[in-house]
Chain A
């Protein structure tokens, strides 16, 4: 992916040299043209067309912000409830993510999810230990994490 971006920059500079004009405008036009060329030649690269991956990263940022807002609303409700009747607890969840940065991003996302945060990660990065504000719906929470976050992170890394 980094190689495709670098190649795109190189093509943009090539365009500037061909025009013999070195302004931000020419760089931008060259970058768009280079993008079209890379899109046309995408089957010669090992990884995906890099804009797809950039879109996946933007999707991840959107999920981060949305979860932060929802989490604050959930904490707000628990704190301002007159009776303290939540049932906290720690549950374990196995993850299919492999590299370290994927697990780190997943842990950060879980920490910002309503009612959960990560206490510990097993030494082989396979099991996350999550403290939840309300335990009874553990399976539901695990499913939710699997379907939304793990999928979004895998979309970035594949």
Chain B
């Protein structure tokens, strides 16, 4: 039984490391702040979460140490990292960082108009 859980811990840690690697590749490859943010806010969240889960399982089987701080860390990361991604991209947009030139649509530039007359596209 402990062997099985150990294997699971190894799998979780390997998946987490792989996801973090892919996130790093994404930050290098993708063209602008916003698309990089896609990679950073999703990939690294799940990557770090599964590494923590693997560590939790490993110490649980190794010496029966139920480390609730790791569980709390998983929950905190799950809650905070999408908010961090949102704030970074919002700050980038408000300081006028341009989107990738192949972007096809930008409805945020009509924000004031939407606030005055409501969203028009929904009615068409």
Interface residues of A (CB under 8 A from B): 64, 68-69, 71-72, 75-76, 78-80, 84, 86-92, 94, 107-108, 111-112, 115, 117-120, 122-124, 126-127, 129, 131, 133, 135-136, 138
Contact = CB atoms under 8 A, between A and B. Distances in A.
Contacts of A120: 90, 93, 108, 111
B30 interface: yes
A111 B108 contact: no
Q: What does DSSP make chain A's interface, helix, strand, loop or mixed?
A: mixed
A75 B86 contact: no
B106 A127 contact: no
A76 B39 CA distance: 8
A133 B26 CA distance: 13
A11 B41 CA distance: 45
Contacts, number: 123
B115 A111 contact: no
Interface in B65-124: 78-79, 82-83, 85-86, 89-90, 93, 99-100, 102-108, 110-111, 114-115, 118-119, 121-122
B9 interface: no
B100 A88 contact: yes
A16 to B, nearest CB: 27
Interface residues of B, number: 44
B82 A108 contact: yes
A117 B119 contact: no
B25 interface: yes
Given A72-B19, A112-B42, A117 B89 contact: yes
Contacts of A88: 32, 34-35, 99-100, 102-104
Nearest to A107: B86
B89 A119 contact: yes
Nearest to A115: B38
Contact of A75 (B26, B93, B106, B122): B26
B46 to A, nearest CB: 5
Given A79-B30, A84-B29, A108-B83, A89 B39 contact: no
B14 to A, nearest CB: 15
